[in-house]
Structure 1
Amino acid sequence: MSNAFDLDFNVLRYAPPHWERRPLWTLVRRRDITGRPEAELLSVYRDHGVVPRKSREDNFNKPSEDLTAYRYVRPGDLVLNKMKTWQGSLGVSRHEGIVSPAYFVCEMSPDVDAGYAHHLLRSEPYIHLYRTASKGIRPNQWDLPFDEFRKLPMLLPPRDEQRRIADFLDHETAKLTRIEFDSLRLTGLLEERQSALAAHCFTFARPDDAHSLPLRRVVQRWIDYRGATPSKTESGVPLVTAKNIRDGRIDLDASREYIATDAYTDWMRRGLLKMKDVLLTTEAPLGQVAMVNDTTIALAQRVIVLRADQVTCSPEWLYWYLRSPQGQAELELRATGSTALGIKADRLRGVPIPLPSPREAVRRLSRLSESVAEVETLQRQLVKQRALVAERRRALITAAVTGQFDVATASGRNVTEGVTA
């Protein structure tokens, strides 16, 4: 990253001298219009700003049955999710609709260009300010009071300069968005490739190439942690829940939860983990699989441990079969539930596991591991690329909205250089 884009949270002090610095309360005003239940539902995203709810498939918050208390939003209104403003969940809406009563809706002064305000108030220096102004004991309980928000300073270039900044950033960030889109599309193709590789590993030309045993006969130990989960703490032993198991691995960043160290032994009294134990989620979501490579974790309910009987089946074979399309189909076949699928222990124990000869299993797994390693190398490169794109977007926006460079002279150079694959 060029030094020209270094992020300094003090940049707000060093904006061009002809830019005004005005408190937000002089430029935004809360507006509470309700009683529009027929209007389109909108959502506020950290990465996307204000968008129609129906345009996203990853919003699992269920709206209220009665929408009359939802707040009305007009194009050009500023919308803040006060519980997540410190994460960047705010934006100027381009859509008409309604949002949750838990959100703030503000109309802006004619002195402010909507596009400029959208980029400025979502920039890194402002997110830093929101974190400082938010109240609460823990980050996931932080709340930004509107009285604190309205005290914050706003950088205000002349109106025509605001428009130039907004147009420049719209154009340049659109380039970065296209790079991200292509990267995500390639990631999807790689995921399909990996799924096809796993399917091929467990496809047999003749019925007698492999025999099957029910899951209960290929596991040496079956551990199901049930009961009330110990109270969460700020630190201690990481608690792995169903949402921490994704794409064949344990992702502790997906949900940072802990239980007290002195409660760990009692909670895990059913059995401590061993390396290469296979973890399987039984619901919410069903069928996510991971292999233990760190035994200093605690498991929540809905995550069970399958310890393979290595005389019959290797842990790697069990892990990859449960991840494969064939294994996932067997789990879904035995699952129950109308909205969220889950599988009961007695039905899970009957899942058939195909078992070729030990030599054939080793050969197939070796070939699968080599191919998957190549796919995962490409996937890591794409993840790195998207991180670079996100970093460049943040730095570009910060530099433009704080006057670190004049967009009139920057528009002729390729400021997205260096982020393409």
Structure 2
Amino acid sequence: GYVGPTRDLFVDDGVPYLQSLHVKNGRIDFARRPYFVPPEWAAARPRISLSHEDLLIVQTGGIGEVGIIDDNFVGASCHALLIARTRRDLLLPTYLWHAFRSHWGRHALLREQTGALHPHLEAGNVRFMKLPVPSLDTQERIVARTEAVARDTQVIHTSLVRRLALQAERRQALITAAVTGQFDVSTASGRNVTDGVPT
């Protein structure tokens, strides 16, 4: 991505300009703080114009964060991010994305960082990282299985969040019932303790 001064670069509307703060948990979260650059400025720098399924690797700060470009950000530009493009006849972008997001991949990136005060990834070091590259059929199977597990994990996470919220609600209801005298806690055995407590 572009590396240079941006103080007078940004405009209210134009070409989306992605930065490391937008790459979180494998996704592009542009809504958290959108930046735009003039279309003519972006057009003069085609090298940083993003294509479908380009990988963005955070270069400074949140080392190990990797995002993948979907249709929403085709044509966007980026700042101080490494852009990885694969040879599609050898390596699926989604496979590389999942590989970098795995425990192994994240730590492989962390091993390449330099600088103690300001951790940084050198493009040259990342370019020569060795990655396991199975056949395309195997890559497709790995991607499909990984995404199925990720979907299951999200369903479980959503259920747990809902359950924790419900438990916190019931706990508060019990405390309120005890404080207001809806049941006598001095003699309560614990059985049927929620009788009469609103749910």
Interval containing the TM-score (normalised by the shorter chain): 0.7 to 0.9
Matched, 1:272 2:83: no
What is the TM-score with the length of structure 2 in the denominator? 0.72
Distance (whole Å) between structure 1 residues aligned to residue 91 and residue 139 of structure 2: 9
SS at match of 1:352: coil
- 1:298 corresponds, among 77, 86, 94, to 77
Which of these two proteins has the greater Rg computed from alpha carbons?
1
Q: Is the 8 A contact 1:225 1:304 kept in 2?
A: no
Distance (whole Å) between structure 2 residues aligned to residue 412 and residue 234 of structure 1: 58
Partner of 2:123: 345
Instruction: Provide closer, same or farther for how the CA distance between residues 292 and 225 of structure 1 changes in structure 2, counting only shifts above 3 A.
Output: same
Instruction: Provide closer, same or farther for how the CA distance between residues 319 and 333 of structure 1 changes in structure 2, counting only shifts above 3 A.
Output: same
Distance (whole Å) between structure 2 residues aligned to residue 309 and residue 237 of structure 1: 26
Matched, 1:243 2:21: yes
Distance (whole Å) between structure 2 residues aligned to residue 349 and residue 362 of structure 1: 23
Partner of 1:287: 64
Distance (whole Å) between structure 2 residues aligned to residue 364 and residue 256 of structure 1: 33
Matched, 1:330 2:108: yes
In the TM superposition, residue 227 of structure 1 has moved relative to its aligned partner by: 2.8
Q: Is the 8 A contact 2:64 2:107 kept in 1?
A: no
Distance (whole Å) between structure 2 residues aligned to residue 248 and residue 379 of structure 1: 17
Partner of 2:144: 366
SS at match of 1:376: helix
Distance (whole Å) between structure 2 residues aligned to residue 248 and residue 335 of structure 1: 19
Distance (whole Å) between structure 2 residues aligned to residue 341 and residue 382 of structure 1: 35
SS at match of 2:131: strand
Matched, 1:259 2:33: no
Count of matched residue positions in the alignment of Structure 1 and Structure 2: 169
Distance (whole Å) between structure 1 residues aligned to residue 21 and residue 155 of structure 2: 24
In the TM superposition, residue 264 of structure 1 has moved relative to its aligned partner by: 2.6
What is the root-mean-square deviation of aligned Cα atoms in Å?
A: 2.9
After the TM superposition, which residues 118-197 of structure 1 pair with which residues of structure 2 at under 5 Å, given as runs?
Answer: none
Instruction: Provide closer, same or farther for how the CA distance between residues 366 and 412 of structure 1 changes in structure 2, counting only shifts above 3 A.
Output: farther
Partner of 1:231: 9
CA deviations on 1:177-218 (whole Å, 9 max, x unpaired) are xxxxxxxxxxxxxxxxxxxxxxxxxxxxxxxxxxxxxxxxxx
Q: Is the 8 A contact 1:277 1:292 kept in 2?
A: yes
- Whose strand proportion is higher, 1 or 2? 1
Distance (whole Å) between structure 2 residues aligned to residue 259 and residue 271 of structure 1: 12
Distance (whole Å) between structure 2 residues aligned to residue 341 and residue 279 of structure 1: 17
In the TM superposition, residue 281 of structure 1 has moved relative to its aligned partner by: 0.7
Partner of 1:115: none
Instruction: Provide closer, same or farther for how the CA distance between residues 412 and 282 of structure 1 changes in structure 2, counting only shifts above 3 A.
Output: farther
Tell me the amino acid that sits aligned with residue 78 of structure 2.
Answer: L
Instruction: Provide closer, same or farther for how the CA distance between residues 346 and 377 of structure 1 changes in structure 2, counting only shifts above 3 A.
Output: same
Instruction: Provide closer, same or farther for how the CA distance between residues 382 and 299 of structure 1 changes in structure 2, counting only shifts above 3 A.
Output: farther
Q: Is the 8 A contact 2:49 2:76 kept in 1?
A: no
Identity among equivalent positions (%) equals 21
In the TM superposition, residue 335 of structure 1 has moved relative to its aligned partner by: 1.1
